[in-house]
């Protein structure tokens, strides 16, 4: 008998499962709390539920929480975890501790099918979508789960290519019956799939980040192939005109590569593209993979971009890299993973 997993279910899902046995929404909330807050892997150890419900759950369900199979620790204390699901699909997760915030960077797919040549994950190939439970598991199964304050969907895969499971995971992470992390502390990153972005904006209050690479369409299309079908200028216009609550953030992730996208021409086009909007620009160093001849823009150049964006009225920041020495930094996930299981 294949048991249903509780991790990945919403409150309504759990209620539908147990209501046929005469249990109510209150009991469903207790089960959710044991999974998402207490992170209990053994159903027999669930707190506060009736003995009969214990027996039923044990016979027809499993907690669905599974541990990483490997981990690496960076010199800056960033930790990269490797997970492997029942289908032998591999995916990586990064825990980034800091003084005031502890962030988990989760994957949404095993590999990715967007085909961006500067991204190691894209070169790894695509092996399938992750379920909502597998996404949430990357947070609740790690040793520092209780310390997590922020979650970013910036690991392996394209979140908008797995929208249904991403939205369900966001709901579990932010719900009071779930992990109860504020939506203002959740950011989902995408290269830009317009129809999915529209659904995302309508169905969640989580933050959205667009991976840009270049403000010029002819350059972007060579590195981010979905530009051909979903032009980023249309997505930027959508975000500019979208009504947002005060603390929801839209941002641009701009990975800076020396002599590729860090010229004054690129800076001027960025200012023209984002002028008059509340979209923030996060400037990121580039991390070349094996045999990649490109290098990151200098810190001075990145600060120059930031300064000029800010004085033109565009919010901008330079983000420091974490975990590069263990291939946990932006664009490096899947480094060293085998392509055959």
Residue 109, beta-bridge partner list: 129
pLDDT attached to residue 117: 86
CATH number of domain containing 287: 3.20.20.70
Residues 137 and 38 in one domain: no
- Determine if residue 68 is left, alpha or beta; phi over 0 gives left, psi from -120 to 50 gives alpha, anything else beta: beta
pLDDT in tens, 154-178: 999 999 999 999 999 999 999 999 9
Q: Kindly report the pTM of this predicted structure.
A: 0.95
Average pLDDT over residues 13-34: 97
Kind of pairing between the strands at 102-105 and 90-97: antiparallel
In terms of Cβ atoms closer than 10 Å to its own Cβ (0-12, 13-18, 19+), residue 8 is buried
In terms of Cβ atoms closer than 10 Å to its own Cβ (0-12, 13-18, 19+), residue 246 is exposed
Q: Report the number of distinct structural domains present in the chain.
A: 2
Which residue is catalytic, options 88, 92, 176, 340? Answer: 92
Measured CA to CA, the distance from residue 33 to residue 35 in angstroms comes to: 5
The answer to whether residue 206 is catalytic is no
pLDDT attached to residue 291: 79
The answer to whether residue 330 is catalytic is yes
Q: Residue 339: inside a domain, yes or no? A: no
Which residue is catalytic, options 116, 119, 170, 330? Answer: 330
Q: Residue 169: inside a domain, yes or no? A: yes
Provide the domain limits for residue 99. Answer: 70-326
Residue 83, pLDDT > 70, answer yes
pLDDT in tens, 169-225: 999 999 999 999 999 999 999 999 999 999 999 999 999 999 999 999 999 999 999
In terms of Cβ atoms closer than 10 Å to its own Cβ (0-12, 13-18, 19+), residue 13 is middle
Residue 289, pLDDT > 80, answer no
Q: Residue 336: inside a domain, yes or no? A: no
């Amino acid at each position: 008998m294949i048991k249903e997993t509780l991790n990945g279910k919403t409150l309504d899902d759990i209620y539908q499962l147990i209501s046929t046995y005469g249990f109510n929404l209150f009991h469903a909330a207790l089960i959710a709390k044991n999974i998402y807050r207490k992170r209990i892997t053994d159903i027999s150890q669930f707190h506060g539920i009736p003995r009969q419900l214990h027996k039923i759950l044990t016979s027809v369900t499993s907690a669905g929480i599974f541990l990483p199979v490997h981990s690496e620790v960076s010199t800056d204390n960033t930790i990269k975890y490797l997970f492997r699901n029942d289908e032998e699909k591999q995916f990586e997760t990064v825990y980034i501790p800091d003084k005031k915030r502890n962030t988990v960077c989760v994957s949404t797919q095993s590999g990715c099918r967007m085909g961006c040549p500067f991204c190691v994950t894209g070169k790894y190939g695509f092996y399938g979508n992750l379920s909502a439970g597998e996404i949430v598991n990357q947070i609740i199964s790690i040793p520092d789960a209780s310390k997590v304050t922020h979650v970013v969907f910036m690991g392996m895969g394209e979140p908008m290519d797995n929208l249904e499971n991403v939205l369900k995971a966001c709901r579990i992470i932010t719900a009071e019956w779930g992990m109860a992390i504020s939506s203002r502390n959740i950011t989902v990153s995408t290269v830009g799939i317009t129809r999915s972005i529209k659904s995302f904006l309508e169905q969640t209050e989580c933050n959205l980040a667009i991976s840009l690479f270049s403000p010029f369409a002819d350059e972007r299309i060579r590195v981010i192939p979905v530009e051909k079908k979903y032009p980023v200028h249309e997505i930027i216009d959508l975000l500019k005109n979208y009504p947002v609550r005060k603390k929801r953030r839209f941002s641009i992730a701009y990975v800076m590569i020396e002599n590729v996208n860090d010229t004054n021409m690129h800076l001027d086009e960025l200012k023209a593209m984002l002028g008059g909007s509340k979209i923030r620009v996060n400037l990121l160093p580039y991390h070349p993979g094996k045999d990649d001849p490109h290098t990151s823009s200098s810190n001075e150049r990145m600060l120059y971009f930031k300064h000029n964006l800010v004085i033109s009225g565009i919010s901008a920041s330079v983000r420091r890299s974490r975990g590069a020495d263990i291939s946990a930094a932006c664009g490096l996930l899947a480094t060293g993973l085998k392509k055959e299981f």
